[in-house]
Chain A
Amino acid sequence: MPGLGSAALALALGLLLYTLVVGGYAAWKGKRRLLESSHDALIAACGATLVAVVVLLIALARHDFSIEYVADHTSRDLPLRFRLSSFWGGQEGSLLLWLAILTVVASAAVRLNRRLVTGVLPWTAPILGGIAAFFALLLVFVESPFTTQVAPADGAGLNPSLQNPYMMAHPPLLYLGYVGLAVPFAFAAAALVSRQFDERWIVATRRWTLFAWASLGFAILLGAKWAYEEVGWGGWYAWDPVENAALMPWLVSTAYLHSVMIQEKKNMLRVWNAVLVCGAFCLSIFGTFLTRSGVIQSIHSFAVSPIGAWLLAFIGISAALSVYLIISRLPILRARTKLESLVSREAAFLYNNLFFVAFALTVLWGVIWPVVSEAIRGVAVTVSAPYYDFFGIIFGLPLVLLMGLGPLVAWRRASLRQLGTSVLGPAVIAIAIGVSLAAAGARDSVPGLIGYTFGAFVLAAIVLEFWRGTRARKALGGVSWLGAFGGLVSRNRRRYGGYIIHAAVVLLMIGAIGVGGFRTEKVEQVAAGDVFEAGPYTLRFLGSTQTQAANALELRAELEVFRGGDRVGTVTAGRNRYFAEDQNSNEVGIRTDWLRAQDLFVIADQFNDDGTVFLKVIVNPLVNLIWLAGLVFVLGSLVAMWPDAREQRRLATRFASRQAPARAS
């Protein structure tokens, strides 16, 4: 029923334009009913968009090849789960997913905060409506997912690299992150327009920002896991422009999540926070632009289309409006308090902000350098991994050190002597671990050794913080150690959730250094029965097989794996030949040693007619700590963003007092 889908999208566009225009007018003139009506229009647009989503999902499930999008991205032999995930396998579908998430998030943000930020909310809805209207416009007039045709007998199928379980979760989470950043942006812009740039918009968007940031971070890791298993080059992050496009807003929003605490506590950095929020949003759109414009070569450029110019114009307008709003509101944004000491928690946050933003700008420069160099010299020069690795070390190591120092420094002002006392324990542990690692032979990578030492410092500092806090609560009496620990975390979930996230970052760093600095690689041409060594493993090639699957021909090479003379199992690697798509894909073999967090990673590069196979065997030490870090990251994020009933009661009391001024808050 493509007609219903098109009509639903047209209706959504109309409703979103209503939210933009009527909502803006209502906010300007202070008209209550018009304002409420515009909020309802935003919710109705969400409903209409979800109808379009359901129509497309049904069409994908039922092989409705009369819709071009369905024919272009599915085939009759494609399993149902991939038919459904092909919703975001192409340009039009992923734009529809974007709009659906945006309208859901925008409706919820406006609805849930309607009593919290009464002065700011009137402008928030039109801004969110305007952003959503832009994407609805693209879907109605430029890239409709409901364009019809004479139905062919079969579809073209889905890109084989997208036929992966991680691709069923990675794009929606990524969009949740990108789109979620629109909420703090809209509230910040609305606060600037309404000249009410106090802390209430931050309180209102705190969990939205955390949710968007956590989704984006976890999506980046899921994408890394997909690349590790599906792209099959043996690494997990390749500094591909589209990977970087997700990393940049994440870095900037990480800086924001830290600096916003200084605004909350000391009413400082208001201009800086406004810049970071607007920057993170513009970078999130820039990421979409990179994926879809084709302006930069990337392994992700499967969804290239002519909407690049539209997106570029949208980024330009968003950035220009942001700059105008910030400059025009500078008098109300200027801080009334100052940093009291360069040795304080606030100062540590400030330093980390500088490193985060510098790193994000360095990545941005690397991403756009091919375009810049082509414009200047006529030749597109691509910046490769060594550039990013270098700056990753330059900015990453101080950031890790600050992650350990920050929690140990007092707010406002700390004496160097007291700081030395706090730091001493974690520093001794870290140095001992660093020296032990060096003595054990981990001297091949000096940055890696420094990274491990700093990582040990951070973990020791985190443990110390939990220990000191729990002991302080226990000292109050009347509570067990467990109760003291639970009370400590539940009374400041953001702080202790943050520490758990810090631990996740350290785990990720340990894994990344393991893969980058200490991995071994071997290439062999083998015949059945051949035995060869790869790192600590001995492998015997048992032979190759060929299987006809539902939608592909599967070639596999099977190897027997030994370690220390003991047989530990088998590993199978190969290639798939997809019929409908007329494409090949690498299906790597991975054998995980959970005890050592290590992978034996096998790529079957070439199957020869004489029965021999070219194999690339990689041993990736500690790589599984990267994936473990993802789980710890989610845990920390959940702790940090978990709603607090007491806070809700307090805020409800405060804003209910508008109706009863006698209650002062």
Chain B
Amino acid sequence: MTAVALALSAALAACAVLFVARGFLRRPGEREDDVLEPVDQARLAALDARDRALAALQELEFDHRTGKVSDDDYARLLGPLRQEAARALLAVDAHAAADGGPGEAAREDVPEPVASPDGTGLADEAGGEDAPVAEPDDAVAGPAPREP
């Protein structure tokens, strides 16, 4: 190895060591603690369940509007899905209340409980792929009738 290569290698190693050690070189007290926070599994599971329930409602709505679900099937499936969504929302609220928070109604990433004419209670902005984790299908809920 030439002297230049040796010097460059040493510099590279020094940079790497400094980069890796930088966390330990911070002043004490700069970080609050040295222990990872445990993940609140129950809270996240409740949020996942809520997202899935809302996504299912939005999917049903979209499938109905695009003619994949008949009026009879729509009416039959809607009730249980709404109950599931309500249960999920209550569970999330319970977690929020336990944490001392204002609950589901104060959340900005949850559909507003607007009473839409079709009864799903989903405003248009609630839809789209980003509302629940599960990327709910296109929420086009609103007053428009089902497409023939």
Contacts and interface: CB of A to CB of B under 8 A. Distances in A.
Given A11-B12, A32-B34, A415-B73, A644 B130 contact: yes
27 contacts: A1-B4, A4-B1, A7-B9, A8-B9, A18-B20, A31-B35, A33-B24, A44-B19, A47-B16, A47-B19, A48-B12, A198-B41, A264-B52, A410-B73, A411-B60, A413-B73, A418-B67, A418-B68, A472-B147, A473-B140, A490-B128, A650-B130, A661-B101, A662-B100, A664-B47, A664-B101, A665-B47
A414 interface: yes
Counting chain A CB atoms within 10 Å of each CB, the highest count among B9, B21, B103 belongs to: B9
A422 B68 contact: yes
Nearest to B50: A665
A265 B39 contact: no
A306 interface: no
Given A198-B45, A200-B44, A494-B135, A664 B56 contact: no
Nearest to A495: B137
Interface of A: 1-4, 6-8, 11, 15, 18, 30-33, 35-37, 40-41, 43-44, 47-48, 51, 118-119, 122, 196, 198-200, 203, 261, 264-267, 408-415, 417-418, 421-422, 465, 468-469, 471-473, 475-477, 488, 490-495, 644, 646-647, 649-650, 653-654, 658, 661-665
A30 B35 contact: yes
Contacts of A199: 48, 133-134
A335 B9 CA distance: 52
Contacts of A37: 20-21, 23-24
Contact of B36 (A30, A465, A654): A30
Contact of B19 (A31, A43, A261, A476): A43
B69 A476 contact: no
B21 A469 contact: no
A448 to B, nearest CB: 31
Nearest to B92: A664
Contacts of B9: 3-4, 7-8, 11
A37 B17 CA distance: 10
A390 B69 CA distance: 37
Contacts of A44: 15-16, 19-20
Counting chain A CB atoms within 10 Å of each CB, the highest count among B31, B45, B144 belongs to: B144
Contact of B144 (A7, A41, A200, A472): A472
A658 B135 contact: no
A654 B47 contact: yes
A111 to B, nearest CB: 13
A475 B6 contact: no
B23 to A, nearest CB: 5
Nearest to A477: B144
B40 to A, nearest CB: 7
A408 B68 contact: yes
A492 B127 CA distance: 9
A662 B36 contact: no
A383 B49 CA distance: 48
A382 to B, nearest CB: 44
6 tightest CB-CB pairs across the interface, nearest first? A3-B1, A119-B39, A7-B9, A664-B96, A662-B101, A3-B5
B87 interface: no
B52 A663 contact: no
A422 B66 CA distance: 9
Interface in B75-123: 77, 92-93, 95-96, 99-104, 106-110
